[in-house]
Amino acid sequence: MKRTDETSESGIGAPASSVVLTINPRQPIAAQIYEKLRRAIITLTMMPSEALSEKELSLQLGVSRTPVREALIRLADEGLIDILPQRGSFVAPIRLRDVEEAQFIREALEVSITKRLAAGCSRHFLTEIKSNLYDQEKAVKAEALDLFLDLDEAFHRSFCEEASLSKSWRVIQSVKLQMDRVRYLSLPDPSHLRTLLGQHRAVVDAIEAGDADAAGHSMAAHLREVLRTAHRLREQRADLIEA
């Protein structure tokens, strides 16, 4: 559903998303709404410019508008939705400047972490990360795109865990939302997954060899791939990605 100038009675936009949400009344309502909408936006189940009606979401879920409003405000704070006065709430476009800043932060953290692991990591870590790479390879061959992205997430998270830097992973999670949207937009291209798998292997090979400089360089090159992808997709889908 594209953006429209029409407003509903709520003043929070046009018709609600076509995405059907369900909640567990025994768990915090606002948090559930937030998580489900966040996931739908990141995975592009809800596309940029799609309208979000506070009123209709509350009716669909059978809850008051308060938890819906709280969830929308959190999503706006993360740059995932735009709340426009007198027009409503809409899924935000993927903004290149946000992707670039997120990539800058990720590179600063993950390159440093990768170099640390190259200087010394456990045999258990190397065994587990190689198992992850094996599963990634199977996912690429099967063109199991969502599975590959889950494995990619586990791959990067395990670096922070091995370095005992769990807070760093939480920082990375908080900034990489727009990067994740680019990743999902690139999913229809299996060759892109093969590129990412090759980059992952280069990082692990350098860590196993104890070459911190090569490991850091490989991780930086890998994390910069999203910038090339974002700019390429911008040329193809200017309706979804803005400068």
Tens place of pLDDT for every residue, the chain, 243 residues? 333 333 333 333 334 455 677 888 888 999 999 999 999 999 999 999 999 999 999 888 889 999 999 999 999 999 999 999 889 999 999 999 999 999 999 999 999 999 999 999 999 999 999 999 999 999 999 989 889 999 999 999 999 999 999 999 999 999 999 999 999 998 777 788 999 999 999 999 999 999 999 999 999 999 999 999 999 999 999 999 998
pLDDT of residue 21: 79
What domains does the chain contain, in order, with CATH numbers?
Answer: 1-92 (1.10.10.10), 95-242 (1.20.120.530)
Going 163 to 111 to 115 to 216, the CA torsion angle's sign is: positive
CA dist 168 and 109 (Å) reads 7
Q: Using CA atoms in the order 49, 50, 52, 53, what is the torsion angle rounded to 10 degrees? A: 110
Sequence-distant (≥ 6) Cβ neighbours of residue 199 within 8 angstroms: 218, 221, 222, 225
